[in-house]
A and B are shown apart, each in its own frame.
Chain A
């Protein structure tokens, strides 16, 4: 549905996006993560055909962003970084204007506006001027604008920013529902919990390049190593625990310790048996939860280290 091949964008010689290749299938959510200035917004703007790629190519629903920008714009729904609403219009007028430009028939227009306004708890505010709404409400109006024409591809830039937890939950529900309607969704976010809970795959951008791409589990495994297990004890133990062959001790405290089993969770049977046999009072063995945030931070640490090493190599040598 959405495909980018070596997509790049330069502004006055500065490469904001470099060689980004990605694919988002129908019914899939891809989260774009990365620090500020990583190139997420530029990538979204190229995919929505308002910025022309400097090199590379992208397609949305089979239409090239270079050759058929109009068709691409017709097929994408974009929630922009800044909601960009007209403050003097009422909610209903605003949405009706966009629906009209998208050539929705009158009944469909009314139905869809009503549906989304009710879904986002905005129905009671439909006659209010947008300037009078709260920040979160405006964000929901902007999201409704992006959904009105039933786009095949959705590009959402920070959809839950500035929202209270309840509204954010509603938006996440809406995004999940849209995925089940076979839409391809790209979600740019700094909220790693949201990315983990919603996205099927995650791409991390740094200085315009994709530095990691995979499912949340894959990224965690890749940047945090194999899963750890924590063993909780009933009483304090000062000595090191007896471990079966292949197990590696990674952390220890008087009442608990953490290990890496050699071949995954199944090996924990040997661990428990060994500990019980040695008289250790095992209360519980549990997987240590890895978060996407940990993986992301580990990745960034790795990227910064690589950059530092590269810049060290590029330093001119004296003498």
Chain B
């Protein structure tokens, strides 16, 4: 036994060493490619000049902004506003050098293709993943270093001139957020670069990165201003997931042949129409046939994401309930009572006026208004979902459920009547519709992230949208329309009946 143990130890050690060597050998060409790319970048004044400029200039500009802002708000005794601004400015200082990374990453493959240097690179005996990671990492290093240097300079200046020292947790969060943000932008840009036929095309496609990142920064600034740092950690998690998915998609569709072979920049509307029609309509002979041959099989593919969405919705409900309960326990019951007193009566009055309005000519208008309200939320969720492989869309779809959990916690705490009669009549239709919507977004994200080398990214993207639209137009929207009708004509009556009025 002792001998066996002695034998096992060196064996395990040897295996570990072999694994380590394997890993080192795998990363060796990645690092070589990265080093070469970095050398090239460091010799290009068009990259260096703005990078150094942004790194040196923005901390000074932000110091100026911070001081002016502080002087202004101090006049009104609102020093707290200035303090809230300082952390946000760290994010701004860190972000600007990253914009350069976007420009460089967009031309990572497209530029090599245009300059004719791609072929010797593709001839190297390295795996696609090694080539891809070599490029990806090299695009990250310089801008990130510049970004960290900018942040350090800003913090130094702020400490010296304003004596402001951020808490370590905030610093860590900003550092991680900046890094993850860079990872998202660069992974998206490199992915675009592998698919674009020229640098010009890649730059034009960059709108798909710039717009969501601008929205992201705005929401981050709001959260920073309100000191919702915990929420920002969720952002970090979401962004990291998005970046990993982007890298996976980029790798899945990385094709040496496409990088060499495709030369055309022409938008072929006929291809667009043909691909979309094939994925959306198939060979259906009419609406009934479309539902039978296209929509139903598509719904069957959603079984697993639907189950996953149910699970997430239950989690959202529980989370909403628990967070609200925890918050309510901090507030004295009499305060809550004071706020909720008479709310039941007011609700009954509101329901009665709702019913009388619905009975009149305004009924259809109310249905339209409700439907359009939901449609707007769905379109926003889908739009954000398209840029985040369904993740952001899913989060938005989960919000009403979390809110329901919160409201039910509140109802239980102050002994309000149950909310179920207000939700269930139309909820029977609306909740499965939201679940289906969430499941279709999840499926879309998975479809985009699944390796399909025989198809280009453009084809997969278009097919994914067409398949998602099949479910959205064919099932989700009709269900939401039906739910709006029920909400106007049935829910108030059921609720009143339940309340005994």
Q: Contact residue range for chain B?
A: 20 to 34
* Residue A119, interface by CB 8 Å: no
Contacts of B257 in A (CB 8 A): 50-52
* Residue A86, interface by CB 8 Å: yes
Contacts of A74 in B (CB 8 A): 125
Min distance, Cβ A79 to any Cβ of chain B, angstroms: 9
Min distance, Cβ A2 to any Cβ of chain B, angstroms: 15
Partner of A80, one of B39, B120, B126, B256: B120
* Residue A194, interface by CB 8 Å: no
A11 touches B261 (CB 8 A): yes
Q: A45-B260, A51-B260, A97-B36 are in contact. Are A73 and B125 (CB under 8 A)?
A: yes
* Residue B122, interface by CB 8 Å: yes
* Residue A89, interface by CB 8 Å: yes
A145 touches B260 (CB 8 A): no
Min distance, Cβ A200 to any Cβ of chain B, angstroms: 25
A100 touches B124 (CB 8 A): no
Q: Which residue of B lies closest to A129 (CB)?
A: B43
Give the complex CA separation of A48 and B118 in angstroms.
14
* Residue B44, interface by CB 8 Å: yes
Q: A73-B123, A97-B32 are in contact. Are A89 and B116 (CB under 8 A)?
A: no
In A299-318, the 8 Å CB interface with B consists of none
Contacts of A51 in B (CB 8 A): 256-257, 260-261
* Residue B79, interface by CB 8 Å: no
Give the complex CA separation of A232 and B102 in angstroms.
76
Q: A11-B261, A51-B261, A73-B123 are in contact. Are A84 and B36 (CB under 8 A)?
A: no
In B116-144, the 8 Å CB interface with A consists of 116-127
Contacts of A86 in B (CB 8 A): 36, 40, 117
In A58-86, the 8 Å CB interface with B consists of 70-71, 73-74, 76, 78, 80-86
Q: A78-B123, A84-B119 are in contact. Are A89 and B260 (CB under 8 A)?
A: no
* Residue B29, interface by CB 8 Å: yes
Contact pattern, B 14-41, Cβ under 8 Å of A = 1, otherwise 0 = 0000000000000011001100100110
Contact pattern, A 93-114, Cβ under 8 Å of B = 1, otherwise 0 = 1000110111100000000000
Give the complex CA separation of A81 and B118 in angstroms.
12
A88 touches B40 (CB 8 A): yes
Give the complex CA separation of A154 and B117 in angstroms.
19
Q: A52-B257, A84-B118 are in contact. Are A89 and B40 (CB under 8 A)?
A: yes
Give the complex CA separation of A145 and B121 in angstroms.
11
Contacts of A52 in B (CB 8 A): 257
Q: Which residue of B lies closest to A81 (CB)?
A: B119
A101 touches B40 (CB 8 A): no
Partner of B123, one of A80, A81, A97: A80
B256 touches A84 (CB 8 A): no
Contacts of B43 in A (CB 8 A): 88
Identify which of A80, A86, A145 gathers the most chain B CB atoms within 10 Å of its CB.
Answer: A86
Q: Which residue of A lies closest to B117 (CB)?
A: A84
Min distance, Cβ A299 to any Cβ of chain B, angstroms: 29
In A1-25, the 8 Å CB interface with B consists of 11
Identify which of B29, B115, B122 gathers the most chain A CB atoms within 10 Å of its CB.
Answer: B122
B40 touches A50 (CB 8 A): no
B122 touches A50 (CB 8 A): yes
Give the complex CA separation of A100 and B33 in angstroms.
10
A50 touches B126 (CB 8 A): no
A85 touches B117 (CB 8 A): yes
Contact pattern, A 160-175, Cβ under 8 Å of B = 1, otherwise 0 = 0000000000000000
B120 touches A145 (CB 8 A): yes
Contacts of B119 in A (CB 8 A): 50, 78, 80-82, 84
Partner of B116, one of A71, A82, A101: A82
Q: Which residue of A lies closest to B37 (CB)?
A: A86
Min distance, Cβ A99 to any Cβ of chain B, angstroms: 10
Contacts of A48 in B (CB 8 A): 123
B125 touches A70 (CB 8 A): yes
B123 touches A50 (CB 8 A): yes
Give the complex CA separation of A71 and B256 in angstroms.
16
Min distance, Cβ B119 to any Cβ of chain A, angstroms: 5
Contact pattern, A 120-161, Cβ under 8 Å of B = 1, otherwise 0 = 000000000000000000000010010000000000000000
A101 touches B117 (CB 8 A): no
Contacts of B36 in A (CB 8 A): 86, 89, 97
Q: Which residue of A lies closest to B123 (CB)?
A: A78
Give the complex CA separation of A73 and B33 in angstroms.
17
Give the complex CA separation of A276 and B184 in angstroms.
92
Contacts of B28 in A (CB 8 A): 103
Min distance, Cβ A314 to any Cβ of chain B, angstroms: 27
Give the complex CA separation of A285 and B256 in angstroms.
58
Give the complex CA separation of A142 and B116 in angstroms.
13
Min distance, Cβ B117 to any Cβ of chain A, angstroms: 4
Min distance, Cβ A61 to any Cβ of chain B, angstroms: 13
Contacts of A98 in B (CB 8 A): 120, 124
Give the complex CA separation of A214 and B401 in angstroms.
77
Min distance, Cβ B23 to any Cβ of chain A, angstroms: 16
Q: Can you show 9 pairs from A to B with CB atoms below 8 A apart? A: A73-B123, A78-B119, A78-B120, A84-B115, A84-B116, A84-B119, A88-B39, A89-B36, A102-B125
Report which B residues bind A (CB closer than 8 A).
Answer: 28-29, 32-33, 36, 39-40, 43-44, 115-127, 256-257, 260-261
With A70-B125, A73-B123, A80-B120 already in contact, 18 other A-B pairs whose C-beta atoms are closer than 8 Å:
A48-B123, A50-B122, A50-B257, A70-B127, A76-B123, A80-B119, A80-B123, A84-B119, A86-B117, A93-B39, A98-B120, A101-B29, A101-B33, A101-B124, A101-B126, A102-B124, A102-B125, A103-B28
- Considering the complex of A and B, which 6 residue pairs feature the smallest CB-CB distances, nearest first? A82-B116, A74-B125, A73-B125, A84-B117, A88-B43, A80-B119
